[in-house]
């Protein structure tokens, strides 16, 4: 996950990175503008929660 400045606004972008042996690159799974929206995106697209991200940091 990354936080990026896109079109003048900060957005949370959830991406999946591919290994170099498969050509590398990223696939954007979703993009949201607030923490509650991020929580919903994580719940829909991954088995992770915000608490899991905090532990990883």
pLDDT tens for each residue of 1-57: 677 777 788 888 888 888 888 888 888 888 899 889 988 988 898 888 888 877 655
| Cα separations in angstroms, 43 against 37, 39, 46 | 10, 6, 6
pTM value is 0.69
- Which range of residues forms the domain containing residue 11? 2-56
User: Collapsing DSSP states into helix, strand and coil, what is residue 15?
Assistant: strand
Number of domains composing the chain: 1
């Amino acid at each position: 996950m990354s936080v990026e400045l896109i079109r003048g606004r900060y957005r949370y972008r959830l991406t999946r990175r591919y290994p170099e042996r498969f050509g590398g690159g990223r696939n954007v799974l979703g993009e949201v503008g607030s923490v509650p929206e991020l929580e919903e995106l994580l719940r829909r697209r991954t088995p992770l929660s915000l608490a899991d991200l905090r532990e990883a940091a």
